[in-house]
Structure 1
Amino acid sequence: MKRRTFITSAIGAIAGAAGCVHSWQQPLHTGAALAFGTTISISVANADDELAQRAIAEALQAALAVDRLMSIYHPASQVYQLNRDGVLHKPDARLIEVLAKATHLSDISGGAFDVTTQPLWRLYTEAARAGGLPSDEDRRRAQALVDWRQLAFDADHIRFRRPGMALTLNGLAQGYAADQALAALQAHGVRHALLDTGEFTARGQKPGRQPWVLGVRDPRDPGALVTTLSAQGCSVATSGDYECSFTPDYRHHHIFDPASGDSPTELASVTVVAPTALEADGLSTAFMVMGWERAKALAAQLRAVDLMVVDKQGRSRRTAGFPGHA
């Protein structure tokens, strides 16, 4: 369901399962796979061709494993099984890790981030298929099933405390996949890489000792950029009302404010820079709900977190540490 919100202007489009091109006489190795309903890709600058290709293959497998584990659509995934049965026994340790991080994000954001918004997604999706929006009564009924504090989990089981609840990790899984893939690359000694799982992680430099450069798209013009940024030693994620909108005016979309049961109204997009892709992924969703002032205040309390927002009127604002590109 999620997104392709950046243009990787540093390397261009990547196609095929694997390849190698040379830039400034330094090898850039690439690999790609299908996951999260899109194409994920990894680019590595490394002098050892065999090592680079092996590292890319293992990194892609690590990302694919996250998709298989956390998809809300695949019957074999543990999240699918939890939503179907209301309880999951012997959960994978990676799922517990992500839920623990989700709980922390919910806590620090005052509930703006909530992995139990899936009932609202289902409701709005079904209404859109019927050509409209849900009634206020149906919305309130779905909203009553949204509460991250009613999700219980430990190493032995995960369960919902209320019947009818459901989980989505679409605001974390792609970021976590990038982090897992990065760990696989680093286990092979890879120092220079750009990973794209829908969220971006950059380490080191691209060939020619140049920074990895990303472009942030305009939320109202898919062919235009709001800005470009140099991504060095960080992860970057964008959430936007255009990613999946239920109405042409972008008023109702896939991001939900748990407090209202509807979409937040202030911002069109939020781009977050953070130390990990999971943080960037989750915070971009939370900040969309929180709005500029609250998001800016929370980012100031977090290590190495910065953001840029574009509001519904097309105005952009950014925190002082948000990276630019000369």
Structure 2
Amino acid sequence: MARRSWVEQIMGLPVSVLARGDGAGSGDAEAAVREVFAELSEVDRVFSPYKPDSAVSRLARGEVSWDGVDAAVRDVAARCVAARELTGGLFDAEVPGGGWDPSGLVKGWAVERAGDCLRKVDGVDWCLNAGGDVLVLCPSGEPFTVGIQDPRDPGRVVTSVAQTGGAVATSGTAARGAHLYDPRTGGPAASRWLSISVSGPSLEYADVLATAAFVAADGWPEVIEVLPGYPGLGVLADGTLFATAGWGG
């Protein structure tokens, strides 16, 4: 099949799109990808805690109230509350010191939403990868092979999984160090697991569950069981892999 790929740096990470099929080189495909990049750039503008003019930063400084932000920001806030309840508090956008950082949910939510731009193009399979969190759309029924990065060596994969649809999300400390915190202690998440990957129908939920599972440390298999259809894979420091039922199936 014909293939075409695009990549841009957005949200501080590489976002790549792979198109496969007769329409991969079409103007419609090009326009859809540009729409995806524009959508994700707008999400970064609104939600980045590192941009001083973002809604998140303005809320943190008290320059705007919840009534003064876009409806999308309030929607994400509600989704973060639901994610906290779903995971028993292991996922929490309320950070130590009283701030609000929805980054652990926003990426999956935004990529899932941006996927709607790609679904409008007939006859094309898509693989959208945002810094290792992957959304797959395969109307042809032919799977993409999604590699799971080795957390000990970013240039290698530890295994792969065939996906004809849905998502794969990975959480850990390999790429960004100890950036995840444990809401139970208020300190950095500590785990002997180097990464946890979760697959499932929704990238938003897969991303939330992967984050909560990593925070849970050895209890991570029970965490992802709160939603059916979201199996997981853990990688230990010695390279040992542990998969829950349904992974790769």
TM-score (norm 2): 0.89
Partner of 2:163: 231
Distance 2:10 2:44 in 1: 6
- The change in CA–CA distance for 1:74 and 1:274 in structure 2 (over 3 A counts) is same
Partner of 1:167: 100
Secondary structure of the 2:88 match is coil
Partner of 1:267: 193
Shift of 1:68: 1.2
- The change in CA–CA distance for 1:68 and 1:223 in structure 2 (over 3 A counts) is same
Distance 1:313 1:50 in 2: 47
Match of 1:102 among 80, 86, 93: 80
Partner of 1:35: 10
Distance 1:240 1:274 in 2: 18
Shift of 1:191: 4.9
Shift of 1:39: 2.1
RMSD: 2.1
Q: C-alpha deviations, 1:163-193, integer Å up to 9, x for none?
A: xx21212212221221121011123446510
Distance 1:190 1:301 in 2: 35
Q: C-alpha deviations, 1:26-67, integer Å up to 9, x for none?
A: 332322322111221212224331111111111221121211
Bigger CA radius of gyration: 1
Shift of 1:99: 1.9
Q: Is the 8 A contact 1:51 1:188 kept in 2?
A: yes
Q: Is the 8 A contact 1:52 1:190 kept in 2?
A: no
Q: State whether structure 2 residue 71 is matched by structure 1 residue 93.
A: yes
Shift of 1:204: 0.5
Q: Is the 8 A contact 1:115 1:167 kept in 2?
A: yes
Q: State whether structure 2 residue 217 is matched by structure 1 residue 284.
A: no
Shift of 1:306: 0.9
Secondary structure of the 2:8 match is strand
Distance 1:218 1:296 in 2: 20
Partner of 1:194: 127
Greater relative contact order (CA < 8 Å, ≥ 6 in sequence)? 1
Match of 1:218 among 114, 134, 150: 150
Partner of 1:240: 172
Secondary structure of the 1:100 match is helix
Q: Is the 8 A contact 1:243 1:254 kept in 2?
A: no
Q: Is the 8 A contact 1:32 1:60 kept in 2?
A: no
Partner of 1:73: 50
Which amino acid counterpart does residue 82 of structure 1 have in structure 2? Answer: L
Shift of 1:308: 0.5
Distance 2:153 2:240 in 1: 14
Identity %: 28
Partner of 1:45: 20
Shift of 1:287: 0.3
Q: Which runs of 5+ in 1 are unaligned?
A: 1-25, 120-144, 146-164, 246-252
Distance 1:236 1:88 in 2: 32
Secondary structure of the 1:89 match is helix
Partner of 1:138: none
Distance 1:266 1:54 in 2: 44
Which amino acid counterpart does residue 135 of structure 2 have in structure 1? Answer: T
Distance 1:27 1:93 in 2: 40
- The change in CA–CA distance for 1:312 and 1:258 in structure 2 (over 3 A counts) is farther
Secondary structure of the 1:238 match is strand
Distance 1:280 1:98 in 2: 16
- The change in CA–CA distance for 1:303 and 1:93 in structure 2 (over 3 A counts) is farther
Distance 2:150 2:27 in 1: 39
Q: Which runs of 5+ in 2 are unaligned?
A: none
